[in-house]
Structures are given as C-alpha cells and as structure tokens.
Amino acid sequence: MDYRLTEMSEQVTTARASYRPIEIVGGATKRFYGNPMQASDNNAFKLQMGGLDGVIRYEPSELVLTAWAGTRLQEISQLLHERNQMLAFDPPGFGPDSTLGGVVAAGLSGPSSFGYGPLRHYVLGIRLLDAQGRILRFGGEVMKNVAGYDVSRLLAGSMGMFGAIVEVSIKVLPRPEHDISCVLELSEAAALAVCRSFRASTWPVKAAAWLPGDAGVGAGTLCVRLAGAQAAVEHARQSLGGQVLDQQEASAWWSALREQTHSFFTRRPLWRLAVRSGTPALDLGPCAFDLAGEVRWLVPDNDATTIRSVASKAGGHATLFRHDHTTRIPADGVFQPLAPTMHAVVRRLKGEFDPKGVFNPGRLVLDL
C-alpha cells in the first residue's frame, strides 16, 4: 500500500480510538458548502488530502482517468485539454486549489451537465478510507465493470460522511466537433419559455442559463451552448437566433456562472432550488437559473419553510448554498431534510461505513 495511505490509515485509527471527529480537508474551496461540523474545530482531527495527489492512470483511447483524490482539478482539466478531451459534467472548482476528491464528495455539476449528465454518471470507481482505517474499493475503471458501481455513485455528493475518498476513476469524453454559445436578451419568463422547448427538440443544447441584468429586474441574458456536429449546431443556431459569442466571451460567461464570480452570486443568502423541468418563475426574490430552468439560484425574501415548500410543490428541493454571519441557518440544516424512509437508509449506511460517526459529522445530515 502507498506509504501515504498507510500514514492516513494510522491517523484515522488513532482519531477513532480517541473518539475525535475527523474533518476531511482537500483544497478547502467548498468548505462553505453544507452544514458546519457539529464538533468544535479545535477538537476535530483534520485529515489532509492535499498530499495525496497525481494522476495514476490515463488512457485517452479508453476515455478513463484515475487519479488520487488530492489531485487539483486544474491539473486534470489541463491534461484532458491537451488530448482534446474533457470532464463533461463541467464541475465548479470555486478556486484554484479545488481537488478531484472534493469535487466528487460535494457532488456538484456545472452548466453543461444539462446536456451531458451529472457527475454521478461519470464516476466509475472509488477507493475509500473507512473509519476502521481500511481501504475499500468500489467499482472499476471500465463501464462494463459494474461490481459496486452503485456504491461509487452513492459516494458522489456524500460530503465525506462515509469516509475519505482517496482515489477516483472517472469517465471522460472527447470535446465536441463544433461548440458555440448564443445570447439573447430576454425576461426570466421569456427565457424559461424558450428553454421549455429544449428537452423535446433535437437541437444539440448542452447548457442553457439566464442571468439577470445589473438592476436585478426586467430583462437579463439567456445563454445557450450548442455543441456537436457542425451541421446540427448551425441549424439550431439559425433557429434560435441571438448573438454568437466569440470563444473568449463564451468561456468567460460560462465561467462566471459556474464559478459564481458574476455579481449576482455575491448576495446572501444564496439558495439553490432543484425543480422539475418546465417550472415557471417562482416569484421568491432576485433569481438566476441554470440547466434550462431546472436549477434556480435565489436571493429570496422569504423564510426557509416557505422556500422549501415552494421547491417541494415544484417537484424538487431547496438548499441554503451560501450564507454569511447575518443569515439565520434553518434549525434542520442547510439541506432539505430527507424523507423518513431515506433517512433510515442513510443511517444504516453510515452505521456500516462509520459506526462511531467520526467522519465529517453533521456536514450532510445534521444527526449523522
């Protein structure tokens, strides 16, 4: 076993024996996300993942990359770019120190996941350091290897509650032949109306998002990414209309959305609502949307109970994504509480992987 894994295993075993909670730390770019740990930071042992870095295997012809969890997202993206490939789920980094393990643990996908699918669809295999100091392997490096595949997907978005991800095998894709972005100046309601047609169309829409104007009211900008065969892209462009951005402009627009550097995302509290396709404007306060309206970013005028009720009626759920010292955090946490049956399933899984509850206590589910 790699000496770094041996050292980390010993650290986990020691912390568990002394009943110290363990906070998993990668690049710390997503530390704002999720519930604060229930234990005091002074008492928690910080398991540092940054030294566990480097690409282990990369087979461009097989569309598979395996890397240590502490490998920086930027390093992986650059390596793939050199071979004209990409992480199709378009993960946000929220900073240059973002790591592959942190990306998978947070489970967040970016704008292009509308057309390519979310992160969990690309996770082929994971090695996990559990609370007993064991290294467990789930999944494999090829799509046909399905042993443990569901567990690998389960770990995507688990916020470290089951253990520390130490290695990830992930599916990558070739970059599209043709890739353009078109912008249209529209109100939120008009932009949502345009987006409703995308799911039923044959247009190669890979991303569609709307950002409000500087005033936060009235018209904003709908940006639609079209990617694929040139003939299909050109046909869709002519039908859609709007202005085509040059490559640099398009990259900057999508980056400002994905990395939340656009001015809209500086406001607090910032809520993320996942809703069913076709949901109309919610009228809860200043809003932006992603994934053709299936994700709403809100700076609401309402309390958490109202926001979550609206999200539930729209077939989804609501998360307090970013907050500051002035924000009143809901008593039941930043994530919408799990249904009782799902909570029971998660509790049983937590008991299997981490019976003493030492890993990231409370980060995903307050009482686990």
* Correct CATH for 3-175 of 3.90.1150.10, 3.40.50.1390, 3.40.50.1970, 3.30.465.10: 3.30.465.10
- Would you list the DSSP string of 10-52? HHHHHHHHTT--EEEESS-TTTTSSPPPSS-TTTSEEEE-TTS
pTM: 0.93
Q: Give the Å distances, CA to CA, from 349 to 47, 342, 367.
A: 21, 11, 14
pLDDT score for 307: 96
**C-alpha to C-alpha distance for 273 and 319, rounded to whole angstroms:** 6
The domain locations on the chain are 3-175, 178-322
Sign of dihedral through CA atoms 225, 228, 231, 236? negative
Q: Which residue's entry shows tokens 């039923």? A: 200
* pLDDT tens sequence for the chain (368 residues): 788 999 999 999 999 998 899 999 999 999 999 998 765 556 889 999 999 999 999 999 999 999 999 999 999 999 999 999 999 999 999 999 999 999 999 999 999 999 999 999 999 999 999 999 999 998 865 444 434 447 888 899 999 999 999 999 999 999 999 999 999 999 999 999 999 989 888 999 999 999 998 755 568 999 999 999 999 999 999 999 999 999 999 999 999 999 999 999 999 999 999 999 999 999 899 999 999 999 999 999 889 999 999 999 999 999 999 998 888 889 999 999 999 999 999 999 999 999 999 999 999 999 99
Helix or strand run (H / E) with residue 149: helix 149-155
Q: C-alpha angle with apex 207: 240 to 98, nearest 5 degrees? A: 155
Given a contact cutoff of 8 angstroms between Cβ atoms, the answer to whether 68 and 87 are in contact is no
Residue 169, pLDDT score: 96
Look at residue 272 in the predicted model and tell me its pLDDT: 98
Rounded CA gap, 41 and 47, in Å?
A: 12
